[in-house]
Amino acid sequence: MTPTVEVVIPLYNEERDITPSITTLREYLQTHCPYQWRIVIADNASTDRTPELGRALAARWPEVKYVRLEKKGRGRALRRVWLDSEADLLSYMDVDLSTNLRAFLPLLEPLARGEREIAIGSRLKRGASVTRQWKREIISRLYNLIIAIMFPRRKFSDAQCGFKALTRKAAQELLPLVVDQGWFFDSELLLRAEQRGYTIHEVAVEWIEDLDSRVKIWSTAWDDLKGLWRVRWTPHPAPMNIES
């Protein structure tokens, strides 16, 4: 049976990018994706025209769905949509499409074949091509180095690339273990996965920085460090119900 795929686009105040990006992604999936698919726009409490535009896209195309959350947080949005989904394969990517879409099918294929449960795009794997400012490059490499030091058994190379996929089964097991609702969500998900014996498939990607990114680098970095400390000292958390 052909697997079903859900592509989640979490966003906040992206009135400039939402329409061209969803249009580009839809055209790519129509042309290249051999699986049944749906795009879900997960709006993190936007205050600009993003809700209006998101609803218009969903009304225009039946394969596009719009979901509104009244609280911010990328992790909150992904948790909500993934736990509600009935798709076999769950994925997400950033609305700016910084990661070249050519990597999307290589991301999904090991999951569709049943060889892996989680796959991520990596900007640090051999063969990747990255264009970004030196400050963000250094911070990213330092962060992944800190993860390697604190979690010496970890095998993935890039925790924060906004280009990931996992099976619904893995999502149902792992999401109740992930506390963070914001940007650290990605790192915590991967670390919890490896603690539970999952092997993470990595795909080298072509990635170009969006200079209009909404990420606040220094506050996000500090929150990430606090999150790493928490995960390091709670390697076997009890599953919990977290407000979506």
Measured CA to CA, the distance from residue 19 to residue 1 in angstroms comes to 32
Residues 6 or more apart whose CB falls under 8 angstroms from that of 136 comprise: 209, 217
- What is the 8-class DSSP label of residue 92? E
Contact 53, 15 (CB under 8 A): yes
Residue type, 3: P
For 238, phi and psi rounded to 5 degrees?
Answer: -80, 140
How many of the other CB atoms lie within 10 Å of CB of 48?
13
Report the helix count and the strand count for the chain, using DSSP H and E. 8, 9
Contact 117, 171 (CB under 8 A): no
Q: Catalytic pick from 43, 94, 96, 186?
A: 186
Residues 6 or more apart whose CB falls under 8 angstroms from that of 188 comprise: 178, 179, 180, 227, 231
For 30, phi and psi rounded to 5 degrees?
Answer: -60, -35
154 is written with which tokens? Answer: 């970890």
- Which element (helix H / strand E) includes 165? strand 163-167
Active site residue 186: yes
Catalytic residue annotation: 186
